[in-house]
Structure formats: structure tokens, C-alpha cells
Amino acid sequence: MVLSLLIVFGSLPLLTAAGGGGARSEHQRIVDFWTHARVAQAQPRDFVFDPTTHQYRPAAGKPGGSGVVSGSSWTKGGAIDGSEGKVLFQMDGSYWVCSATVVTDSANGRSIVLTAAHCVYDEVNHAFATNWTFIPDYDAAPAPLSTSSTAYCNDTLYGCWTAAALTVHNGYATAGGFNDQAVLYDWGFAALGNGGKTGTLVEDVLDNAYDGPGTQAIVFAPQSFGFTGHAFGYPAAQRYKGNDLTYCKGTVDGDPYNSDDTYRFNGCKMTGGSSGGGMLFGFNETTGYGTLFSNNSYGYSGVSAMHGPFFNANTLATYNAALSGGNDVVGD
């Protein structure tokens, strides 16, 4: 059995990194950095794990199977159209894509988005991602032009928002790579300042667009198995092209290969690029609102399922760090 990681446990400290101090000039620099050509080069960040050898290697995606909804285009509209978005970032000299969700927060002057830790932090070089950018409602964005040097964000529906701070838990940062500890902590948060085409917060833009909250609620406690969930993201490997909001609907249990210490979202075959996308319970398919309980993280080859970490007090601590931001190591 091969574990495909899309990349992260205990009462450990967490790490934060400032991405530009909220300076408008830094935001504009990142927006200008993401030309059509660079966006076209960006690839899903995902890995394959062999539990026998405990060795990892890069992978283009994972095969899937059947399910209630195993990875279909989301066409029902609602708030999830805007609150789920695409992430662009640079890590170790390469360009990458992931997915992320705008979450409800109490911060003033910033918005918080949930993604996967491996979409925020380089576990090999122990460094945070750079040029981290969130694009809401990527469904409405055009395909990037591989030879164009113009700013891609200008051609998206609402524009782009860049990270003023990134946070991951130290349980992920000190795991030493993708391993049994790492997969338990594969969540991360980004704090976004003013941006987009209006120079305002992304949640304010989405509030106006959907005549209601432009964010999704989040819970910081593990959920009992056996409930129905929805998972969203922008898969970009194998049959997916990365520009279509995709969802799964199915029963959520524990991962038997991981001692039930993470969730198994049965029947979900989204591939690389969906990593970091939100898993929600109580999702209303008419309004597009639900409650985040995990995020897309990893899968096994030959198993039709997506997996994700339990949200708990450590997740809450990581989230709280994003509310205030800062270039600090938080905790003992």
C-alpha cells in the first residue's frame, strides 16, 4: 500500500512567519511576481509514501475510485464558490499550487484562510513558503498564458490577496519530513491583509458578493466517525486541470492504516492541487455554507479516499497565532 501525501501532533509550540508586514508595496510586489507564465508553471505539491520502506518521492497525483460523489465539478453555487480558492506559492525555487478556505475570524484588518501545512512550510529546508497568494472563486479565472509576462491577478474575478503571516504547528515543522507525526498536523493558516481589486479584505468582498458571510465556520474538536461530509478543492493532477472547483460527498470515518488517528473521507478521488481544501460537515448545498472540521491532506494509491487531520486545541493555537501574526516561535 502506498500513501500519497498532498503534506502534517501533541502539545508542541507553533511557528509563525511574517510575509511582508502588511505593507502595500510588498503585496503589490507579490501580485506582480505572479505572471501568467509563472502561474502556468506551478504544480501541485504532493508526495507518495511507502509505509513499508517509509520513503517518500514526488508524485503527480493519486488514482481514485467510486463514491457518493467522488470528485465532480461543483455547479450549485452558494458561498463556497467564493470562500474556497486557489493558492500559489514559491518553495525551494519552484512554483506550487494548493487549495484553501476563508474561515470565520475575529481579527481586525486581516482575513484568515485554512490550508495544509505542506502548502505553507517546507519540511525539508525548514522554511516558510514565499510569494504566498490566495485567489478566491478561481472557477472564474482564465487559464494562464504560458508565454505572458503580465500579472495574472489582474485577469481574475476579484484579484489576489497575499499572506501577511503564515502559521503551522511545531508538530509538523519538527516531524523531520513526511512521517507518522507529520500527517497528524497537516493544517496551516495564512493571514491576509487588504488586497484584491478593491484594496479591501477578502471576506468583505465575498460578503458583498454573496449577500451574507463570505467565510466558513470552523470547529476545533475531533468529530465522531460516521457522518456525511463535503470536501472541496482545485485538483490539478491526472484528469483534473486545476481550474474547476471540485467536490466530494461521502461518509467520514477513521483511517485504518493510521490507527484511526486521522479522518478518512470515503470515495473521494480528488488529486494533487486539492491539498489544503476544506472538509465540512453540515454543509447546505443550497446556501453553500458548512463547518470546517479538517482539510484535504493525503491519500493511498488504490484506495478511493481522501484523508485529513483532526482539528483540536493545537489547531486552535495555530489559528490564534494567525489572528495576531508575527515572526515568532510560540510556546515552550
CA distance 244 to 236: 9
Measured distance CA(27)–CA(164) in Å, rounded: 8
pLDDT per residue over 210-238, tens digit each?
988 999 999 999 999 999 999 999 997 66
CA distances from 103 to 141, 194, 218 (A): 21, 16, 7
- The DSSP-derived string for 63-113 is -----SEEEEE--S-STHHHHEEEEEEEETTEEEEEEEEEE----SS-EEE
Start-to-end CA span in the chain (Å): 37
Domains of the chain plus CATH, in order, are 3-61+68-325 (2.40.10.120)
Residue 204, Cβ density class (10 Å: 0-12 exposed, 13-18 middle, ≥19 buried): middle
Of 234, 322, 227, the residue nearest 39 (C-alpha):
234
Q: Give, as one character, the DSSP assignment of residue 137.
A: S
The C-alpha cell of 71 is what?
470528485
Distance in angstroms (rounded) separating the CA atoms of residues 137 and 79: 10
CA 5 – CA 84 distance, rounded (Å): 21
CA torsion through residues 267, 269, 270, 275, sign: positive
Percent of the chain at pLDDT > 90 equals 66
Q: Are 13 and 318 in contact (CB under 8 A)?
A: no
The dihedral built from the CA positions of residue 297, 314, 180 and 57, taken in this order, carries a sign that is positive
Asked if residues 59 and 180 have their Cβ atoms less than 8 Å apart, the reply is: no
Q: What is the pLDDT of residues 6-20, one digit of tens each?
A: 433 233 445 555 544
Per-residue b/e over 261-299, b at no fewer than 16 CB within 10 Å?
ebbbbbbbbbbbbbbbbbbbbebeeeebbbbbbbbbbbb
At 188-213, the pLDDT tens digits run 999 999 999 999 999 999 999 998 89
Look at residue 69 in the predicted model and tell me its pLDDT: 60
Q: What is the pLDDT along the chain (332 residues), one digit of tens a residue?
A: 444 444 332 334 455 555 444 457 999 999 999 999 999 999 998 755 655 554 555 544 433 333 346 788 899 999 999 999 999 999 999 999 999 999 999 888 899 999 999 999 998 899 999 999 999 999 989 889 988 999 999 999 999 999 999 999 999 999 888 778 889 999 999 999 999 999 999 999 999 999 889 999 999 999 999 999 999 999 976 666 678 899 999 999 999 988 999 999 999 989 889 999 999 999 999 999 999 999 999 888 778 899 999 999 999 999 999 998 763 334 33
**No. of helices (H) and no. of strands (E), the chain:** 6, 23
